[in-house]
Amino acid sequence: MEVDKGKGEAEETRKVAEADRDTVTLKSSDGKLFEVSKEAAARLSTVLAGMIAGGSIDDNGTDLKQIGSEALENVVDYCNKHANSIPSAALISSSISFNTAPFKEPEEWERKFVDRLSHDALFDLVEAANFLGMERLLDVTCHKISEMMKGKSPDQIREVFNIKNDYTKEELEEIRQELAWAFYDD
Amino acid sequence: MDSSTAVEEAAPRSAKPTTPPDAGDDDAVDLISGLDDDVLLRVLSLLPDASDAVRTSALSRRWRGLWSRVPALRFASRPGSGATTGGEQRAALERFAAFVDGFVSRRAQSGCAAIESLSIVYATGSSDILEKPPPPPVFVARVVFAIGRPHETNERDTQRRQLMPAYVHAVQGWIQNAFLHGHGDDDDDENVVLLEGLHSPARLETLRLALEGAIRLRLPSTVKFASLAHLSLERITIAADGGDGARLLGHLVSSATCPHLQKLCMRNINLHAFSEEMRLEAAMLSELCMEGVKTVMSLKLWTPKLRVLHMYTCSHKMLMISAPKLEELVISFHQGYPPSCLEIHGDLLCVRRLKICLWSHSPCASSRYEAENDTNISLLKHFGSLTCLDVTLLRGQNVSFAGSYLEHVK
């Protein structure tokens, strides 16, 4: 979904140009530019929706200083992929659904999308999704993290995420006793 | 794994070589502990079992006590725990119940956040059983009549498929002492779980209970879920005292107990004793799905705001429906046993979508199946504004004759 709007259009009044465009340009902390479907961005990100509605989108690249280029690329990639699956998404939201779950399981493509990420990229993406108010992307990435934790002992989880155990031996023993009830099936 | 190739077309800039997420080396930094509390709580709420969330307290100081603020929790019994004898199963259930009980009572202490989402699933085998939608009925032909707006059938079909699996999750709320064990007078082979002493402050919105195995649920007679909006009860055997189960179940899901209930799903509910009458009087209820609610002689629905009603393997002798706002009805009867008395109040002028099952070639006890067809046809007379009629033909090849039923619609 690359966009080939000519630069010449910038001559016209910005308001008109902006209304005509169906993409927005986002700029990462390291200065790289990314195009994303305006419709998808507004639908998937509360922050971008607010910026688009408020007219604070910059044609030359809206600064997102908190997000690095790799994470922003993933965000844009996710938005564009999501834009392509609009038909089913629109159908779901408009139809009567018995879905009362706070969380809907990731779809196959969403699973693949997060599975290919490196450890670092996954966490960068979580933070980007959180910053941009992307509820669904946040769920999908957090779900991936929870899958990496489930059924593991504290030691195993520390190993996976490089968590440093800063408890003293006494504290740890105290916690283990405190939480003995939570190890009911061991 | 070539999963990366699938995404490269949309990621033209630089698909960097990636390493698997689990490949951590000693120098690697701890990325997870730096996340916002809200994000970590979201991660914990997505864990399949709440014990995983509690145990994260042992990770480091950053994680201590986070579990006490997780808003959404799921309790799921572990499959394949190796319990085979009745005694072992009972012991496993007791450990599970004690854990749930311990958890919710700890969360009731001051300083903890209210549980907004809670799901309790107990299965003696694989808990996957409870996640799967019920098998489709055996049928040989299915005819969908799209009247007026043919494109609606696809959407309609999608809805039908979504309905059951989607309901399978759920639950927001606050439950204290959800599980208490029965009194000592029950025999050893049967476990009775009481639903007594439930407290439901303002936050309770949805609740899912799925219990399988030799468990009987004793329904409370005095409990109120003031804010409950969604309720799902699945695979539950109800311990009924003196055939009172249907009355208590009706009471539990009615406005008297749940004044704000909007969505209700009851699947595979067994009343231990044959019960006379179940009355569901729900002023706010908008969507209702009932499947395999057994041994209830008479079912009466007073649902002024009901829009969607799905009833599968309905086996009641008497069925009364008062639902003036109904828009969609899917109904199938327990094979060959339609209600001998079907009462529908008023003309259901809002109903656009109807799905029924008809027998094309009657098997042995033909009169029963004819009666079932007659009941279904009589249903049609109540619906004057259908735009979509979906007929599933059972056990027969004679599809063409179904076309004649169209005339009833017009």
Cβ burial A111-139 (10 Å sphere, 16+ → b, else e) = bbbbbbbbbbbbbbbbbbbbbbebebbbb
Average pLDDT over residues A8-35: 70
Cα first-last separation, chain B = 56
Write out chain B in H/E/C secondary structure.
Answer: CCHHHHHHCCCCCCCCCCCCCCCCCCCCCCCCCCCCHHHHHHHHHCCCCHHHHHHHHHCCHHHCCHHHHCCEEEEECCCCCCCCCHHHHHHHHHHHHHHHHHHHHHHCCCCCCCCCEEEEEECCCCCHHHHCCCCCCCCCEEEEEECCCCCHHHHHHHHHHHHHHHHCCCCECCCCCCCEECCCCCCCCCEEEECCCCCCCCCCCEEEEEECCCEEEECCCCCCCCCCCEEEEEEEEECCCCCCHHHHHHHHCCCCCCCCCCEEEEEEEEEEEEEEEEEEECCCCCEEEEEEEEEEEEEEEECCCCCEEEEEEECCCEEEEECCCCCEEEEEECCCCCCCEEEECCCCCCCCEEEEEEECCCCCCHHHHHHHHHHHHHHHCCCCCCCEEEEEEECCCCCHHHHHHHHHHC
- Nearest by CB to A96, from B14, B23, B328: name it: B328
Q: Residue B264: what residue type?
A: L
On average, the pLDDT of chain A sits at: 79
Tens of pLDDT, residue by residue over A88-99, are: 333 333 223 333
Give the start-to-end residue ranges of the domains of chain B.
36-70, 83-130+168-296, 307-397
Distances (CA, A) of B381 to B153, B321, B409: 21, 14, 7
Taking every pair of C-alpha atoms in chain B, what is the biggest distance, in angstroms?
A: 77
Contacts of B286 (CB under 8 A, 6+ apart): B262, B263, B305, B306, B307, B308
Give the nearest chain B residue to A74 (CA atoms): B11
Helix/strand/coil for A59 = coil
> Under 8 Å CB-to-CB from B386, ≥6 apart: which residues?
B147, B351, B352, B353, B354, B409
Percent of chain A with pLDDT over 90: 46
Inform me whether the C-beta atom of residue B207 falls under 8 Å from chain A C-beta atoms. no
Q: A185 or A8: whose pLDDT is higher?
A: A185
Q: What is the pLDDT of residue A13?
A: 47
Q: For testing the chain B interface, which of A96, A135, A164, A175 should be mutated: the one with the most B CBs within 10 Å?
A: A96
**Angle (CA) B341 B342 B347, round 5°:** 150
Query: Counting beta carbons within 10 angstroms of the beta carbon of residue A140, is it exposed (0 to 12), middle (13 to 18) or buried (19 or more)?
Result: buried
CA distances from B75 to B45, B48, B50, B210, B211 (A): 11, 7, 6, 10, 11
Mapped onto helix, strand or coil, the DSSP state of residue A155 is helix
- Please name the residue of chain B whose CA is at the shortest distance from the CA of residue A145: B43
What's the mean pLDDT in A75-104?
56
Residues of A in contact with B21 (CB under 8 A): 117-119, 122, 144, 148
Summarised one tens digit per residue, pLDDT across range B271-326 is: 866 778 899 999 999 999 998 888 788 999 999 999 999 988 888 889 999 999 99
CB A128 within 8 A of CB A75: yes
- Residues 15-74, chain B, touching A (beta carbon < 8 A): 16, 18-24, 28-33, 35-36, 38-39, 42-49, 51-52, 54-64, 72
Q: Which residue has the tokens 């829009």?
A: B307
Q: What is the pLDDT of residue B317?
A: 87
In B, minimum Cα distance to A138 occurs at B39
Contact, B376 vs B394, CB < 8 A? Answer: no
A143 three-class SS = helix
Residue in B45, B57, B206 nearest the CB of A100: B206
> Is residue A1 classed as helix, strand or coil in its secondary structure?
coil
**Mean pLDDT calculated for residue range A16-32:** 78
Chain A interface disruption, residue of B1, B4, B14, B43, most A CBs within 10 A: B43
Q: Does B366 touch chain A (CB under 8 A)?
A: no
User: CA A174 → CA A170, B67, B69, distances in Å?
Assistant: 6, 17, 20
Question: Which chain B residues touch A159 with a CB distance below 8 Å?
Answer: 24
Instruction: Kindly provide the ipTM of the predicted complex, given to two decimals.
Output: 0.82
Q: Best interface-test mutation with A: which of B32, B51, B122, B130 has the largest number of A CBs within 10 A?
A: B32
Residues B85, B87, B88: CA angle, nearest 5 degrees: 70
What are the backbone angles phi and psi of residue A132, rounded to the nearest 5°?
-85, 0
pLDDT of residue B363: 52
Residue ranges, chain B, pLDDT below 70: 1-27, 78-87, 89-90, 93-94, 101, 105, 108-111, 114-118, 123-204, 212-216, 220-221, 240-243, 272-273, 336, 360-366, 368, 395-410
Amino acid at B225: F
Residue B121's pLDDT is what? 76
The residue behind tokens 């699956």 is A85
Q: How would you class B309 by CB atoms within 10 Å of its CB: exposed for 0-12, middle for 13-18, buried for 19 or more?
A: buried
Closest chain B C-alpha to A158 CA, distance in angstroms: 7
Q: Which residues contact A1 (CB under 8 A, 6 or more apart)?
A: A23, A35, A37, A80, A83, B10
Q: Do B155 and A120 touch (CB under 8 A)?
A: no
Instruction: Check pLDDT > 90 for residue A87.
Output: no
**CA–CA separation, A144 vs B51, rounded Å?**
18
Substitution target from A97, A98, A120, A169 for chain B, most B beta carbons within 10 A: A98
Residue with structure tokens 């009924």?
B240
* Maximum distance among all Cα pairs of chain A, rounded to whole angstroms: 70
Q: Sort out which chain B residues have CB atoms less than 8 A from A176's CB and list them.
A: 58
Amino acid code (one letter) for A22? D
Q: What is the pLDDT of residue B81?
A: 54
> What is the reported pTM?
0.63
What is residue B407's predicted lDDT score, i.e. its pLDDT?
42
Decide: B329 and B109 in contact? Cβ < 8 Å: no
Residue in A closest to B77 by C-alpha? A185
Question: How many Å apart are CA B400 and CA B283, to the nearest integer?
Answer: 42
Name all domains of chain A by residue range, CATH numbers in brackets: 9-150 (3.30.710.10)
